Structure formats: C-alpha cells, structure tokens
Structure 1
C-alpha cells in the first residue's frame, strides 16, 4: 500500500532532520529545563520590580547586584563543572576565606604590593585544589567526604593565618578589583558611552555565535528552531543586554569585576563545549564505565576538575576580600550552598553529566535577584533563607521528575 508524502516523512528520521527545522513543541519539551530557567528569571525580575516599586531595576541597584554577587557567580562556574563530573565540593566557602586571609596578611600586615597578595591567593587556591584532587582522583575517597574535611581544615587554617582577628583595609589598587569602574573612556552626555559600546559588542558576539551554531547544527542534520524564532530570541536577548548596559552606563559605568566575570564565562563556556577536556568531564559524569572503556583518563580529569575549582575559589576569595576591604575569619560562610544552588537551579543534574556554565550563571542571577529583592523589601533573613531553600528543592525535584518521566517513556 502506498504512503503519502507526509507519512513517509514522519516515518523517516533522516528526512525529517534533513530540513534542519524541528517542531517547536519538540524543541520546547527537549529543552524544557534549560528554557524554563530563563522564563523563571524573567518572572522573578518582573515580580520584584513590581514589589519594590521599580527600585530593583534602578541603575544603582543593578550595579549593586553585580558587585554583591559576582563572587558567587565565579564559584558557580567551578561548581557546575564539578557537578557535571559527578562530584560535589563543600569546601569552597572555607577556601574563599583562606585565600582572602593569605592575601590580607601579605598586603595589609606585611606591606607587600597588592598584586603579590593576588598571586599568593591564586597559588593557595591551586594548592588546595590539588590537595582535593589527589584524595578524590588517586586515593579514591568520595568528593563529599574529602571536601567536607576540607571545609573544616581550611576554616581552621584561616583562623590560624588571621590569628582569629580581622585585617583591613586593603590599598586602593586592591579595592578596585571588586569596586572599580571603567568609565569616561570615550565620553557620553550624562552616560558612559564605553559601557554601551561593550554592551553592543556583546550583543553582536552573541548573535554571531548563535548563527554559527545554527549553521553547524543544520550541516550535521540536527534539529534547530525556525529562523523567525531564532531572530526573535537574538533580539530579545540583545534587548535585555542593552537595557542592562544602559542602566550601568547611567550609574557608575562598567564594573571591573563584571569584565572579569564575563571573561571567565567566555573561557569556561568554550572549555566545556569545545575542548576534549570538557567533553571528557561530561562523559565521566554521564556514564563513568563508558568513559573508562572509551579511554578517558578518569583520574587525571577528576584531578584537574578540583584544581580548577580551587583556582576559581581563589578568584572568588580575591574578589570578596576586595569587596569587603578586608579579611575576616568568618568570610565565605555558606558560599558553597549558594554556588551549589546556582548550579542546580541553572539546570545541572544531581547525577552528573548535565549542566552548562551559562545555566549556572542564570541560576546564580535568580538567587541574586531574589536575595536583593527581599532585602529591598525588608524581608527577615530567616525568611530569605527559607525561600532560597524551597527554590533549590523545587529545582532538584523538577530534575528528578524529568528523569523519571524520561525513564518511563522508553
């Protein structure tokens, strides 16, 4: 019996994929978790903008959000890679405190140049990461235990380094790392034109990258969204970026810490998506046995996962100590939970093998906007913690639900 052309196309995956255009509903369902966080971010921003009478989106407050939560976003980059690899790191808050303490002792107490403190903090972070990596990768101890021990160990070392006292202030050059701005470089009447230029370049880069990805997917006969939907997405993201840049341009200009964060997002986005190491991390987290049979050097990859986490914890430690203009024994308290929450809310899977750097950034921004919005509303700290906990629980429950549904549909 002869089949119609439509029936033949539906029964032949190769024909259906040849067009490179996927059914919109299929794309939405396939990327529900990743797409949902963007919708959630937009809804949360709109909600708190209304509840705070527009204060949330004021130029000064947007700048404050960038400055106040930049170190959590840096930690989230490293944490999502750890989680993709099937591990967890509970020590990052203590490492933030230790690296900031080492920098403060050298710069404030001993009078060393500010850059010596930065380099020393980064070296300590790398050493801590190597310590964790050795016990996880080569001794075979679960990362949960190793980093839990590290959380206690490095908090104790912080107390020893600081002699149980706070140190401050840092010199002005060190403070500029987290509190400095680039403005007035190319002028502007009542606004910083340089910030707008950087925003426009970011939009152009996003559009070019998205178009190249789309072309590559079509070339390999992978499903993509229709071209009008692609254009609409680029325009929407571009409008958000330019609005953000416009608000910064009317405040104090482009924060230096935002440049650092954008550089890290770009580098680690490429690392996870375009390098052999990134693919191996996904392979280990997705199916450890298959990765080993494929020739992946699991121990080496796991070792460098934790070295990288130590490095980014040190970067966050420098930013936090610069932001707070000093080092305190209790610095970094609970930072690990915020970083883990950002990764899970951003789409990382509990079992590993799934997650993106961009998703972790969006998850971190959701936490940042909620925290900032509730602070502007004068919500009690205990209620803020409860809300964050519920949001994390819902995100993980949604991940588990999706996996169970995918398992029963096979």
Structure 2
C-alpha cells in the first residue's frame, strides 16, 4: 500500500513573512487598541478586498513570466462600465464589465503570444487605451447611481469584521490556489514562467496558459472595480491610479519573482495582508500618504533582500539549527 503523501514544510521566507504580519498586528494593537476594534478590522478587510483582488490577478501573469500593467486602468473601466451600462440594473452592468475584461485580456494574450512582443510593451498600450476610454466614459466627472441596495448588501458585515466584498476576494484566492496547486494547467503556468522553451518542448500549453493568466488578470481588476463602484455608488476615471504599483508591491512582498516561475496565491494573500495592515496601522497613527509610501518602499526592499542572498544565508542557518536539535 502506498504511503500517505506528506505535506511540504513551509519555507523560512514564508515563515518570516507570517511572523512579520503577526508582528505588525501586535505592534499596532499595542500602539493603539482601536486597531483591533471591530470597526477598524472591518475597514481593513474592505481595503484588502480591493488590493487583494487586483494583486491576485496580476500575480498570475508574473508567475507566468509576464506582466500586466493595465490592471489599474481596468479597475477604473470596470467600475464605470458597471454604472454606465448597468443603469438601474447593476448586476447587468457588472456582466458588461466582466465581458469587456475578457476581451481585453484575450487581446493582450493574443498579441504577446502571436507576435512574441514583450507584455510590458503590450500592456502599456492597453493601459493608455483603457485610461482614455475611462475618461471618455466618465465625461470629465464622477459617475454616480441612485441604486444603493446592492452596495449596502455587499458591505453588509459578516461576523462584524468581514463584508461580502472581502468574502468574494477570499473565495477568489481559494479558487486560484486550488487551480494552481491541483491542475495540470496550473503547473504549466508555473513552468512557462521559469523555463518557457523547455516547457514548450515538453508539451506544455504555452499559448493557452498565457490566455488564462491575462484574462484572469483583467477579470480580477474589472471585478474589483465593479464591486467598488457598487459599494461607493460612484465611479471615476482616476480610481485605479495607484493600484498597479500597490498590487505589484503586494505580489513581490508575497514572494512572487519578477523573473517568473515562483510564488503562489497563498503567498500573495500574505503579501496583500502585510501591506493592508501596515497602511491601515500607519494611517491610524496619523502618518500621511508620503510616509506610508516610504514605509511600503522599505518593506519592499527588505523583502527583496530576504529573497536574495540574505534569505539564503538565513535559510542555511535555520536548517543547521534544526539539524543540531534533531541530533
């Protein structure tokens, strides 16, 4: 009889990221007890619902060795299409926004795959085009709706600290994690990110993998913008201006390599939570946007060092310590 499959132990880098997240929560709670109040945790999960969903989609393109710079503009377009095309029926508007995202994601993948063009170049063009489209949809103003019912339902607290928007984001992470871990296509996405030529020679479906990651990236961004517009009952062309950089930071903090082939949705979840907790806690301390950006940069540089030679040295020390204790 086959022996049961043993679970893989967490890497030192993952454990340190979890420790950093716990340390941030403890430090902010000691500094200001209001940090762990139900109201603030609810606000924190609302912020995570937006950043986490965008970072999840973007991270899949990064794992595949590509990049989607258009996610911020897609958030704005997704929110505007939901209100403009939906009118009184916001669910219909969301359907239009998601269908539009599928078209844009497929177009990005087609150009990258068919003409072998860098995804950075392709998605810069998509970003500019989507930004222009967003300003055309908005007509130079903030679009609003009188339909507040769906927004109230999405923001209705679950167990006091989580909204349905947050629950949707967590469900997306769960589905993406299962897909990447337990499907052949998930394996192909990871392999083409590290060794594309070898993957293609071994029969990996490179083209289909690229279509999947770019479509999912666009869908996640459009869904995030759509849900946000329903929650706020308004949308603007400038909504996603800073989201792309935050999403990239969350993915890198979570351990996704810019070179591709490394990372997982679970790690991106941890990275998104680290940035969300830090931004929320620093805001409660009265720090402005400039200071928060500076702190994000410091954490990002620290994580890059952790994933480099410093992290390798720490892993060796940790392994040696475990070996001594075992002996």
TM-score of the superposition, structure 2-length normalised? 0.89
| Matching of residue 39 in structure 1 with residue 29 in structure 2 | no
Structure 1 partner of 2:218: 310
Q: How does 1:262-281 map to 2 (within 5 A)?
A: 262-281=170-189
Structure 1 partner of 2:31: 51
Structure 2 partner of 1:63: 42
Give, in whole Å, the separation in 2 of the partners of 1:152 and 1:282.
Answer: 29
Q: How does 1:333-344 map to 2 (within 5 A)?
A: 333-344=241-252
Structure 2 partner of 1:106: 85
Give, in whole Å, the separation in 1 of the partners of 2:7 and 2:231.
Answer: 47
Residue 159 (structure 1) aligned to one of 113, 130, 135: 135
1:342 Cα deviation after fit = 1.0
Residue 348 (structure 1) aligned to one of 231, 248, 256: 256
Tell me the C-alpha RMSD between the 2 structures. Answer: 2.4
1:21 Cα deviation after fit = 9.8
| Matching of residue 83 in structure 1 with residue 66 in structure 2 | no
Instruction: Tell me the number of residue pairs that the alignment of Structure 1 and Structure 2 aligns.
Output: 313
The answer on whether the counterparts of 1:350 and 1:396 sit within 8 Å (CA) in structure 2 is no
Give, in whole Å, the separation in 1 of the partners of 2:235 and 2:130.
Answer: 14
Structure 2 partner of 1:74: 53
Q: How does 1:379-390 map to 2 (within 5 A)?
A: 379-390=287-298
Which structure has the larger Rg? 1
Q: Give secondary structure in 1 for the equivalent of 2:252.
A: helix
Runs of 4+, deviation exceeding 4 Å: 17-22, 402-406
1:19 Cα deviation after fit = 11
| Matching of residue 368 in structure 1 with residue 243 in structure 2 | no
Deviations 1:42-83 (A, max 9, x none): 01111111222x111111100111112311101121122111
Give, in whole Å, the separation in 1 of the partners of 2:6 and 2:114.
Answer: 44
The answer on whether the counterparts of 1:101 and 1:328 sit within 8 Å (CA) in structure 2 is yes
1:304 Cα deviation after fit = 1.8
Structure 1 partner of 2:234: 326
1:401 Cα deviation after fit = 2.4
Give, in whole Å, the separation in 1 of the partners of 2:242 and 2:5.
Answer: 49
Residue 174 (structure 1) aligned to one of 128, 150, 158: 150
Give, in whole Å, the separation in 1 of the partners of 2:290 and 2:178.
Answer: 39
The answer on whether the counterparts of 1:104 and 1:170 sit within 8 Å (CA) in structure 2 is no
Q: How does 1:290-309 map to 2 (within 5 A)?
A: 290-309=198-217
Unaligned runs of 5+ in 1: 1-16, 183-194, 196-247
The answer on whether the counterparts of 1:102 and 1:120 sit within 8 Å (CA) in structure 2 is yes
Deviations 1:183-231 (A, max 9, x none): xxxxxxxxxxxx4xxxxxxxxxxxxxxxxxxxxxxxxxxxxxxxxxxxx
Distance 1:281 1:403, change over 3 A: farther
Give, in whole Å, the separation in 2 of the partners of 1:379 and 1:322.
Answer: 29
Unaligned runs of 5+ in 2: 315-327
Distance 1:328 1:273, change over 3 A: same
Q: Give secondary structure in 1 for the equivalent of 2:224.
A: helix
Q: Give secondary structure in 2 for the equivalent of 1:181.
A: coil
